[in-house]
Structure 1
Amino acid sequence: MKLRNVPIQRKLTIIIMLTTSMVLAVTSIAFITYEVFSFRSTLVQEMKTVGAVIAANSTAAVAFNDEGAATEILSALRAEENVLSAALYDANGSLLARYSPDASKTDFPPLPDFTGYRFEQGALLLVQPVERAETRVGTLFIQSDLRDIYNRLGLYGLIVALVMAGSFLMAFVISRWVQRSISHPILELAQTARTVSEKKDYSVRAQKFGEDELGELTNAFNDMLRQLGNRDVELFASRERLKLALSASQTGTWEWNLEANQMVWDEFTKKLFGIDRGTFSGGSGQLIEKFHPQDRPTIMKAVEATLLQGKELKVEGRVIWPDGSEHHLALRGKAVSDGPEAAKFNRVTGVCLDITDRRRAEERIRRMNAELEERVLRRTSELTASHQEMEAFTYSVSHDLRAPLRHITAFAEILEEEFSENFGEEARDYLQRILRGTESMSQLVDDLLNLARIGRQGLSLQKVDINIILHEIVADFQPEMKERNIHWEIEYIPEVSADPGLIRQVLANLISNAIKYTRPRKEATIHIGSDIPDGEIIIFIRDNGVGFDMKFVDKLFGAFQRLHRSEDFEGTGVGLALTERIVRKHGGRVWAQSELGKGATFYFSLPIVGKRLKEPEFETAGKMA
């Protein structure tokens, strides 16, 4: 059994016991190892001392090859129980004397090839030089067993075994006490979790046993149960609201188990499909069969896209009820899998809506739109004909007014030239008024004719260099500016697509207004420039004239509308209306911004063509007087 599957009580006991065992084992091994090395060091030191004494006593015997004396000296090693054998060698390496507690031992080794000590085959070997007057005259060899070390190791092993047994017993008793204090709160949490899982009762609470981390865990667990309980209540209420909302919106729910190929419909979905209770088998084929034969390919294609590509199911179709009535339904659904790592979808869940009323309303709206479009086309045709008749009438009336005006003007001029000397001051004033009136009336008739002509005239669009036209217009107005101090600022303007004659008239009207309404200024400034926002060019004419109040801006481009008194500024009020009509005919727009007493800026837009032209060679800014 794996440790992770062991109950927590036994798991805590095992962990404590294993920890205790490992600590004791490491401690015992370290202790025994230290003792062994310490005893070996002591043994080596003792043997070195014994060897030094024997070597010093046997100097004369070895120097004179006195075997008897050497043997007697070696016999002093009987007092050392650990010595297994000893031997003295002369300067030539020949065995001179030997000693062994076992008298039968005769296999003494030849002269060793090292000096000092080494451990070999469970024994300590000591080789000590025998010297006389700092001259080596022989060699002492002593072999000692390690019986004391082994005896001590056995004793230590027994002690360690007793200590570990006692420690195991104490550790087991302590672990039982510790694991109860640790595992009991955990077992209480586990039991509470099982109760909640089995009974779905979120009012159960786990008992708290302390203020430590387990106590904090118990508090967090109980708080989680409280939140789950609140959410369970909210979820129940939400389900009831959803059920009520689905019922009120005539929406049914369904789920399709792809693995079992079984569908689960709620009662309202069955009602929407016209299926009686107990007659739905749950097969997906029955769903397709319920739709109108003409709609089935669309339904099947949408379902396949949802199953194979995971696309959201959005499809509508007609359903034929058993009574023969036709109903429009909308299916909305989504393919889902039971886990984030699932390789394929295993179910589709969604809703079913009755859209019959909506489809019928859409059909009514479609018919009404068709009728409205027909009416609009008929009305537009009527308005176009009326507009054309009005323009023809205006042109005819304006043209017919020219002859009487010419007669009036001609007779008034004859009176002025031939009979003015016979007129009194008042009569001459009346005559001047007649001349000014006929002149004003003639200008008005010309403006009316221009308006009518613009309505009938077609556009001759071509690339137009605005810069040349601007300077020609400024030159044409030069006689009117002889006594004026006007500073002109004319920027380079890109090429546009327009009717040259009409666009010249627009610029002439706007520049004429700028010259006229800056008349009260001692130093007038007229700035002409352009901007290119998105696919169009906006041309502006800005002046520092008298301006106008922006609350009257809606009247600005109306025919015969004037914002200033005729006594102050002459005009018929048709120029800006003509300008607006020409710009609109080009597909552009015209507008203005102003502040009373601080000048005005008029803007109009036109389509832009090509890239910038080469800068003109004539002067585009400067002072003209």
Structure 2
Amino acid sequence: MSAHTRPIRRTLMTVILLTCGAVMLITSAAFFAYEYLTFRQLTLRNLEILGKAIAANSTAALAFDNPGDAREVLSALKAQPHVVAARLYLNDGRLMASYPDAAAHATAPSAPGNDGYRFEFGLLRGVQPVVQDGRRMGTLYLESDLGEIYEHFQFFLGIGALFTLACFAAAYLLSGRLQGVISKPILALAATARQVSERRDYSVRATRTQGQEFSQLTDAFNHMLTRIEGDQTRLQSQLSRLALLHRITHATGARHDLPSLFRVVLHNLEEDLPVDFACMCVCEASADALSIAVIGPKSAQCASALRLAENDLVPVDQNALARCLGGELVYEPDTREIRFPFPQRFSEAGLRSLVVAPLLVEKRVFGVLVAARRASESFSSPECEFLRQLSEHVALAAHQAQLYGALQRAYDDLRQSQQAMMQQERLRALGEMASGIAHDINNAISPIALYTESLLEREPGLSEQAREYLGTIRTAIEDVAETVARMREFYRPREAELVLSRVECNRLIDQVVNLTRARWSDQAQQRGVFIQLKTELAESLPDIMGSEVEIRDALTNLIFNAVDAMPAGGTLTLRTRLVSSGADITRQVQVEVADTGIGMD
């Protein structure tokens, strides 16, 4: 099992056992070194004492030069099995006696060497002078093996091994129990972390354990969970506000009038933010007051307490509303501390927190969003930021609704103009048809009327019945003539008295161009024909006196005729100019309609 997957219990036990083993090994090595050095010195001292005793007993044998006594003295070394050799030398260097006898000539050195005891060549060697009454009589040479040291340390190693095993066994048993002091808090933290990870429940907390370090670790872990829980809560709040902003944006996209757009925004705001009071105000023509456009559906009770109703005017004070109209979001955490009339209304109605957000489009504030809650300091910074973003979206949607309304009105006006032009075109066609019919009828009834009048005036011999028939014919002819006259009046109605007024020719030509655009541009392009319109209008033309309607109708008919004269396309030119003529330098305004089509020049 690798170190990455080994359980913490086993890891702790391994660490404890290795630590104990290292300590035991270092201690044993130090103790062994100390024992080895001290025991070597003890062995050397014991051999020195033995040498001094043998030397003291050898003085008589040396004094009388008695080898037998000397050998008897050396034979006492049999009691020391580790003494492997002994030799007794005279002052002149002659070997007097040795122990054991077999070593008399085999390993006997020619000279005993310097006095003293030392370890050499795996042996302990000693040279002890034999002295009597201050006079040196000879030299004792001793050799001892290191068997006593080896036996001592073999025993010592056996005892140490048994002691080490006993210590390891005790350490193993103790580590099995003591590792729980460390592993249990860590495993408890791991279990808590696993529970948090699996359930995604950041409200879980680890149990505080004994021990300063573990308490600090647990506290730090719980503090981390608290921070994560707070961040998670804030993240969820931000996601919910983003979802609310998305819903409001989606809902306002389907509204094209300000009241319904404002109601959708306030309804979602009251339901999901939520707030206790919300309303939309728009700027009046005067910058000194705001008009309450819409109040939220759930804010009616608070509105009555505030003495506010839709279409009421609210004066702009010099604090919240004035700053908001300057493009600043205003947050009043406690309206009781504000001494201006508008916040004081909310304070008296029990609404302590107030936010006023500007509806800003193209650096122009056209209204404000007002939101309030009963508790003081109840709007957080993220909520204020959300209201600021919401006001921007609402302002943009309101601006688009206004543009849509203006576009719709322009489209309606254009459609009415086109319908009026089509109606005029139909009337013109009907008039042309009526004119032709009237001409044909007049041509048909003229001989009848002539001959009828001639018969009635010049034929005296007609019977009464014939005259009656001719009178009936004349009456019918007069009725037909009246009908034809009425048809002409239907085509070209005239006022009883023509009223003249000032007419600006250039402006009138622009109107005619717009009124006839469908004929010379749209309808022509549908047929695959392109007609280019050119206007050459003189500047600073004086106004003329005339009937603007009649002039416009005349120019319209001229343009229609020009379009009809260019079935394959061409250039239509409208031109105005100021000319002077006559001795009295009379100034005249000339209006020309020219085309490049077929027909007269």
Fold-level similarity (TM above 0.5): no
TM bucket normalised to smaller = 0.3 to 0.5
TM-score (norm: length of structure 1): 0.37
For the pair shown, the structure with the greater C-alpha radius of gyration is 2
TM-score (norm: length of structure 2): 0.39
Q: Select the structure that is richer in helix.
A: 2
